[in-house]
A and B are shown apart, each in its own frame.
Chain A
């Protein structure tokens, strides 16, 4: 069964990719969706087995790399963690496959698109099912590649191509850290197998290593290097710049890859390596800081963006920040819980946004929307559910996971935990404001689109709405239903078993009552507040903009990260490259090397030629001088 889960998407991808033209668009779409659908159903069965029977397994498919003491296998590891990831990946992927049938109905390259989606699913599954760091790395780069293909899917668009390359290269910066982490693990432990590495961790706790001149504890260094990888994939602060640009890809891609699955790989990695991270206080603190910075930063940027997809992208970035600092305060299961609920409501929001974009004939600017509640009733209700779940409105799924994160951060009991909790609360408020801004500007108020008349706006077809309904059910109930299993006091430890390590059980205390009520009250109060700000009295917002122009620009330009990186890395690389090529290779090496030598020889031979002038007196003169020099030397000796 595990083999089927893993390989069915690959089979679909190959058939659709290579024989798509033979079997036709419709058949490719049905085939890939069915295969991933089956894979999703099987994933639920595996998860059920893990829950009820404590099932776990480690299947070896084949040998991969075998060099000296390095042995790497292709493997499928089943435990609570990978079972949860299987369900998230396959479930969202299956729905996105179905949705794409409708969304891509006008696109000429349907089979290629389905092939990429299925290939991505396969790569993501190899990532989460690995029992060692190198297969993880395979999946890691594999999903990066599929993301590259899908972002650049509309290959004629210059911006899409640029975004695709940017995503791949920025991710490679993260992979650089991950690879170094893997090298270090192999160097220290002599193996790259998770279980073997984790078993040895307690033996090396106090050992240090000299890393580019700094003495650092091995555990800390391993954790920090892996963290760089995780930051790249999960678009955390400093390595986040690719994610908003990645919105150039078709919207189903954003829902699948850049919301529900691939970007959570970083969180998955940290949770998978909890047996290492538990021993590194330093790394956990760094994760917490990065997580809360990302959460806050992305939320501020989301406040002022006008592209509907970019708002949701920054929102994803921000929610990933929550997951990071949840892991950073040691609440790995809570991070996984948020990952799980987030997959539902964020996929819902993205696919809903896709439906809106589809209805508005590829318009993405929320300033050119509005006043279409009656035209798009289903989409509106579904987006509303997604927004409520995202903002943590009481009793929807985001409420349970996000509040749990803030609670556990508070209960961590150290300064950084409390700080993270408060940043979490502020960010929750910002989240609520920007999310409602999106809803109000998109659906309420006046119809602001000048290119299309309001009559031409139409609801999306059933094949697009149906997956949204399923996701909406998840967005409402997933939190309530799975709360006990993921973060309940006793059940959770039993469920996660060996897949997550807690040095000490998480605190079972309760924060003060006022603290518990703070977040829900704030996010609820934000609804009328945003309503007033963005619909009733837009002058206030405009006034604020004008008064604080520099701050506003700072936010619109996303804290100037792209400009800074261009200035610091991209342009200098190009300049240095050109300099080395033209000046060093051309003017120095060649000039003093081959060209120089040959011209010296040439000059010498020209002089030698001149020497043989044919005039007797010249020869006689030279002979005379030579003779006298020789004579002088002889006499002097």
Chain B
């Protein structure tokens, strides 16, 4: 490996952030910083696409591995990717420029700092998806909290401080346990290198406790029921771009963690706790769908629907079937696109009318026809209509679940009915009907930059809905490998018991 392509991906946004920090801008002319940030993030996106292009989809090994000694041989800085991580990296590099373009008049203060926060965040997120060392993973995973905490706390709404602290408290609580578990793993095995750990395996007697420690961190970040209440508050208070980052990328770290670490490192414990995950996932799906039905605030509704969608993800991962796990990964990518798009859509009307209350809207289709069309596509993506990415993820997950437990699949399928109800009802109340509120009449249809960002999201949602092969191809070998390792461990464990 000559050129450290992964480290470049990780560092490039931070270099951009430094550059923005040290360039003096004449007062009020932050526009140039925005272009710098946009340029950097687009370059990173292209770099990640190049990475996807040269990536060998048939290999099950980690690729582009970089391994450098760090902290006097105690811990190594080790990064590398497989077919699963690369999709999340591309999702990150794809969403970031969209966020930067969408930074606009809603961010009235400290625009420069805001851009820096976004770029730093990108660094951490990419780091999470390619670390192959537990400590490195932990650092990136937790560091990602800080920019998000600042984005909510500084540029948020009225109750931003409450929300920021709630967010911080929840996520920190889980992560402390994960740190303890990582230290324990080092004591037990003498390494924190993920590849080595895959080979060595962790003794069955330790697995349950370690699994629970990792779970407590991932469950909060997913978020799973009952530790989900930070999400609606965080979304409501976060600025539009913050919500987009949070929903599209931050929530995916935990799902990725479940596949990479919970399944990979603690297969026996994963098997033991499957029922627990099923139950929590089902509660998440049904419970939050019902709650979403009653929301009056658009962002809260979408936030609750996110919890339901992530419920499908955790359900799919723990079906331990090819369809279930591939479906979960697909669902995460899909949710990354759809939820980002929905939050941007809410941002569009919020910026014009300064409220997120659903009943203040209605009849927008008459004044904003273009907006109505794209919003419809996103609504359909969220309710999992065939032909959008949302369908493929959900359908594969349910298919996988059905193989393992019919009752679980049935209950989860009920969530699909509720999903249609709350999304269509939202759409109806906002877009259809008569215009009752005269103030709405002054609202303008989409501006150019909004058309760019929203159609950039419409295209992949529909394209991969009709032709998911490129994504499925990329994850197939890695998911198969994960499952093989998993099943191998489970069978060995059973054999050793007899």
Chain A residues proximal to chain B, CB less than 8 Å: 62-70, 134, 137-138, 141-142, 145, 148, 152, 155-156, 158, 161, 164-165, 168-169, 172-173, 175-176, 179-180, 182-184, 186-187, 209-212, 573-574, 576-578, 580-581, 584-585, 589-590, 593-595, 597-598
Contacts and interface: CB of A to CB of B under 8 A. Distances in A.
B403 A187 contact: yes
Contact of B380 (A145, A211, A589): A145
A173 B380 contact: no
B472 interface: yes
B290 A64 contact: no
Contact of B420 (A68, A168, A187): A168
B174 interface: no
B452 interface: no
23 contacts: A65-B392, A66-B469, A68-B480, A70-B399, A138-B386, A164-B424, A165-B428, A172-B417, A176-B416, A180-B410, A180-B413, A183-B399, A186-B402, A209-B406, A573-B418, A573-B421, A577-B291, A581-B291, A581-B295, A585-B229, A593-B227, A593-B229, A598-B165
B409 A183 contact: yes
A577 B410 contact: no
B190 interface: no
B398 A580 contact: no
Contacts of A211: 406
Interface in B258-306: 287, 290-295
A59 B166 CA distance: 56
Nearest to B376: A149
Given A145-B385, A212-B410, A594-B229, A67 B294 contact: no
Q: Which 9 A-B pairs have the closest CB atoms?
A: A68-B322, A183-B402, A577-B290, A138-B386, A577-B294, A155-B432, A581-B291, A577-B293, A172-B417
A180 B387 CA distance: 19
Given A66-B469, A594-B166, A137 B293 contact: no
B428 A173 contact: no
B366 to A, nearest CB: 8
Contact of A156 (B410, B433, B476): B433
Contact of B386 (A70, A142, A164, A209): A142
A581 B294 contact: yes
Contacts of A581: 291, 294-295
A434 B468 CA distance: 51
Contact of B322 (A69, A138, A145, A173): A69
Contacts of A589: 226, 229
B467 interface: yes
A478 B270 CA distance: 63
A581 B399 CA distance: 30
A169 B290 contact: no
A574 B395 CA distance: 26
B291 A169 contact: no
Given A137-B386, A169-B417, A593-B227, A212 B399 contact: no
B434 interface: yes
A62 B467 contact: yes
Contacts of B413: 176, 179-180
Contacts, number: 147
A16 to B, nearest CB: 14
B327 interface: yes
Contacts of B366: 156
B396 interface: yes
Nearest to A595: B166
A452 B457 CA distance: 51
Secondary structure dominating the interface of B: helix
A498 B294 CA distance: 50
Contacts of A594: 166, 169-170, 229-230
A121 to B, nearest CB: 16
A65 B431 CA distance: 33
Given A156-B433, A169-B417, A169-B424, A578 B398 contact: no
A210 B387 CA distance: 33
A436 to B, nearest CB: 39
Nearest to A154: B432
A187 B323 contact: no
A184 B84 CA distance: 28
Nearest to A144: B385
Nearest to A598: B169
A64 B365 contact: no
Contacts of B407: 212
* Most chain A beta-carbon neighbours within 10 Å: one of B229, B295, B365: B229
Centre residue among B366, B380, B414, B433 by max chain A CB count within 10 A = B433
Interface in B433-472: 433-434, 466-469, 472
A173 B322 CA distance: 27
B133 interface: no
Contacts of A165: 421, 424-425, 428
Contacts of A573: 290, 293, 418, 421
Contacts of B418: 573
B156 interface: no
A64 B467 contact: yes
Given A63-B469, A180-B410, A161 B432 contact: yes
A173 B417 contact: yes
A574 B422 CA distance: 11
Contacts of B290: 573, 576-577, 580
Contact of A176 (B327, B414, B472): B414
Interface string B367-384: 000000000000010000
A211 to B, nearest CB: 6
Contact of B326 (A62, A67, A142, A183): A67
B92 interface: no
B363 interface: yes
Contacts of B41: none
A164 B433 CA distance: 12
A211 B466 CA distance: 33
User: Which among A209, A212, A581 has the greatest number of chain B C-beta atoms within 10 A?
Assistant: A581
B321 interface: yes
B428 A161 contact: yes
A595 B386 CA distance: 41
A168 B424 contact: yes
A137 B476 CA distance: 24
A52 to B, nearest CB: 35
A65 B396 contact: yes
Nearest to A179: B413
Contact of A180 (B292, B392, B409, B428): B409
Nearest to B392: A65
A577 B468 CA distance: 34
Given A156-B434, A161-B432, A212-B407, A68 B326 contact: yes
